[in-house]
A and B are shown apart, each in its own frame.
Chain A
Amino acid sequence: MDLAPVESLGYFVPELILGVAVIGTILADLLVRRKEVLAVAALVAVVLSMLASVLMLADTPDTTLFNRMIVHDQFSLYFKIIFGLAAFATIWMSMDSREVDQVSQGEYYALLLASTLGMYFMATSTNLLMSYLALEFVSLTSYVLTGMLRNNRRSGEASLKYLIYGGVASGTMIYGMSWIFGLAGTMDYAGINEALTTSSPASSLALFIGVVLTLSGLGYKIAAVPFHMWAPDVYTGAPIPITAFLSVGSKAAGFALLLRFFYPALSSLGDDGQWQALGGAGWPQIILVLSMLSMTIGNLAALQQDNIKRLLAYSSVAHAGYMLMGLVVLSDEGLRSVLFYLVMYYMMNIGAFAIVMLVANATGREDFDSFRGLAWRGGALPAAAMAVFLFSLAGIPPFAGFIGKFYLFAAVIRAEMYTLALVGALNSVVSLYYYARIVRAMFLDEPDGSEETVSLDWSTGGLVAVLTVGTVVFGLYWTPVIGLADRSVRFFLG
């Protein structure tokens, strides 16, 4: 199906809810005196939007919307739910965060909702120009959210670095898109696919250049090496809820765009669930190198970090590398495992940042020392939850991260890419070292008496409890999630 603007609105409900909420939050900021209302309103909007996406999962037909600019399919719904979950947890954390108390509440929540809306578009766009605009939409809101802490120098520095790096990356990306447009004569993904299927191999060098340049923008969004340089500084400087949001929501949005760009646009699907890269551009090899580099450099750099947020930033670079493994194998199985891993990653990573926030609220610091003896100064439960999240991030059974990695490695081994699997496995071992270092500091090191006590309040405790239970339960019973991921590897081009 192919719908014109007015008919499209029926399939556009999740976006409409968020759009109205963005404007509503700004207006409400002028009208209400009690600013806590704004956070609750934003939370309600996100829940409603997610609900709309979930209801659409059932039986709505795939269709393109707004004259083929965006698409409505199972794949986009899956990602919309992930973005909704990420925004939900971020808003929840923001309500408890000391840092966020200082900022202008209306602007903060409006920008957060706008960023989520931009991510929706990143997952749904089927047109080069629309993809670029969606990416810029998310980037611009992220720059401002990162620099929200006006009296904090690091926050401003992070925002400026993010802006400069993002500007260069997206400029390179749109230049690459112009090459692809020049080859295909259209910006529509379906049109590009058709043009590549019929074109002569003489143009493969030009396509290669276009793809590599475009990849710089996509790689920057998912924070993959060598486009990861902004991540450590931005993750350290941003308010903690925003760091969590960037590390999960923004990364998932980058993957959504990356998957839709490389798979339905630049590849063709065979009957056996195997994809074939079109036009001889050799992009699977580039992604293979990117994947190995991201894992290795991310993990090695994380070994030496003293700031927990910085450590988690490098860990998130490494996780981008793990997830890229699922793209290299060119199979539906690989794609399914990426989608599955994103949900697992959501729970353990947001959970870890929630504990960092809890400690930062009490101590005002985010370094290694603030975690020393955490279990013995009132924070036994947070420390235990943090251990679950960290072991899950390292990929230790029986936690969710292990199952996620299991599916990724299974897809790689089935594709007989043993070197990649070996690099991934070695990296998991390396990562265990720095995750375990935090756990050791929390439990085995004695506090020297100078540290503040950390206690769990009901609100953050509720969020952490849900995420911990999720991390444990999905490590034991994950059938519904993998089933959903499986049926979500359905791209619609129209």
Chain B
Amino acid sequence: MLADQYLPVLIMLLVAGAIVTIMVNAGRLLGPRNRTETKLDTFECGNESSGSAWGRFSVKFYLTAILFIVFDVEVVFMYPWALVFRDLGWFAMSSMSIFIGVLALGLVYEWRKGALEWE
């Protein structure tokens, strides 16, 4: 009973594995190889690349990124909310107000604690 149910999953796994193997190897066997310096260079959106990829950069970037994620996720919650907003009325309005209020308090805290200062 179990085998019947999960057989399609097994087939799917095998097919997926086969496709990956075939595609990678086909490209290696059939494709022309023409290595020029420009082709082997790191791709930086068309600009001339400069410096090493292992250069160090400030941990502050991560802080900013984390602060950004919070508001990024907030927007994800607002999409479904906006869809049903009309039907749910004040209940939806108050729920979302509390949610955004709490996030806003977090922003105020970060601000006052100096997390947004670059120096």
Contacts and interface: CB of A to CB of B under 8 A. Distances in A.
B2 A203 contact: yes
A481 interface: no
A118 to B, nearest CB: 16
B84 to A, nearest CB: 14
Most buried by A among B1, B102, B106, B109: B109
Contact of B2 (A27, A29, A206): A206
B24 to A, nearest CB: 28
Given A6-B91, A26-B105, A27-B105, A200 B112 contact: no
Nearest to A29: B109
A23 B102 contact: yes
A32 interface: no
B47 to A, nearest CB: 37
Contacts of A26: 105-106, 109
Contacts of A203: 1-2
Contacts of A200: 1
Interface residues of B, number: 10
Interface string A232-269: 00000000000000000000000000000000000000
Contacts of A58: none
Contact of B105 (A6, A23, A205, A206): A23
A30 B112 contact: yes
Give the dominant DSSP class at B's interface.
helix
Contacts of A206: 2
B91 A30 contact: no
B112 A202 contact: no
Nearest to A6: B91
B93 to A, nearest CB: 14
Interface string A202-220: 1101100000000000000
Given A6-B91, A202-B2, A203-B2, A30 B108 contact: yes
A203 B109 CA distance: 51
A467 B91 CA distance: 46
A333 B74 CA distance: 47
Nearest to B106: A26
Nearest to B101: A23
Interface in B58-108: 91, 102, 105-106, 108
Contacts of B2: 202-203, 205-206
Interface in A167-221: 200, 202-203, 205-206
A305 B106 CA distance: 43
Contacts of A29: 109
Contacts of B91: 6
A85 to B, nearest CB: 28
Contacts of B102: 23
A202 B106 CA distance: 51
A202 B1 contact: yes
Contacts of B113: 30
B96 to A, nearest CB: 14
B108 to A, nearest CB: 7
A156 B108 CA distance: 27
Interface in A283-339: none
A108 to B, nearest CB: 14
A15 to B, nearest CB: 14
A200 B2 CA distance: 10
Given A6-B91, A23-B102, A30 B109 contact: yes
Nearest to A30: B112
Contacts of B1: 200, 202-203
A206 to B, nearest CB: 7
Interface in A12-30: 23, 26-27, 29-30
Nearest to B102: A23
A23 B108 CA distance: 12
B65 to A, nearest CB: 18
Nearest to A110: B109
Contacts of A205: 2
A6 B92 CA distance: 12
Interface of B: 1-2, 91, 102, 105-106, 108-109, 112-113
Q: Which 8 A-B pairs have the closest CB atoms?
A: A202-B1, A30-B112, A26-B109, A202-B2, A23-B105, A203-B2, A23-B102, A30-B109
20 contacts: A6-B91, A23-B102, A23-B105, A26-B105, A26-B106, A26-B109, A27-B105, A27-B109, A29-B109, A30-B108, A30-B109, A30-B112, A30-B113, A200-B1, A202-B1, A202-B2, A203-B1, A203-B2, A205-B2, A206-B2
Given A26-B105, A26-B109, 18 more contacts: A6-B91, A23-B102, A23-B105, A26-B106, A27-B105, A27-B109, A29-B109, A30-B108, A30-B109, A30-B112, A30-B113, A200-B1, A202-B1, A202-B2, A203-B1, A203-B2, A205-B2, A206-B2
